[in-house]
Amino acid sequence: AVAEPRIVAAGLFAGSFVPRTMFEEARQVTIPLHVLLQWDDEGNDRQTALDLFDAFASTEKTLHANMGGHTGVPQFAAEDAARFFARHLRRPQAGTHHQAGSRP
C-alpha cells in the first residue's frame, strides 16, 4: 500500500513475525483497513498485532478480534471482510455523483 497507489483498501490477518521496518511503513499507510485478529492465536503475539494496528495512519481502520486460535476464524469474519471490500472497491454507477471528499 505504501509503494502501490492503486491499492485503495486492504484486509489484513494480524499476526506472525513483524519486523521493525513494518511499523515504520505502517505509519505511511492511510487507506481504509480491515484487520482480523484471533485473540488466542497460539502462533502470533497479540500485543505485537495490536501495536501494529495502532501504528497504521489510516483514519478508517477496523479491528475485528475473535476468540479462538489461528484456525478458529468464524464464518462471519469472512462476511464482514466481504462487506468491507464491497464498500470500498465498488465502482460508482454511471450518472452517480458523489459529494466532494466522499469515497465512491
Percent of the chain with pLDDT over 70: 86
Q: What's the pLDDT at 72?
A: 86
pLDDT of 36-78, one tens digit each? 999 998 888 899 999 999 999 999 999 999 999 888 899 999 9
Q: What's the pLDDT at 93?
A: 55
Give φ, ψ of 13 to 5 degrees: -100, 105
Set of cell numbers at residue 68: 479462538
Domain ranges of the chain: 10-89
pTM of the model: 0.78
E strand intervals along the chain: 10-13, 33-38, 61-66
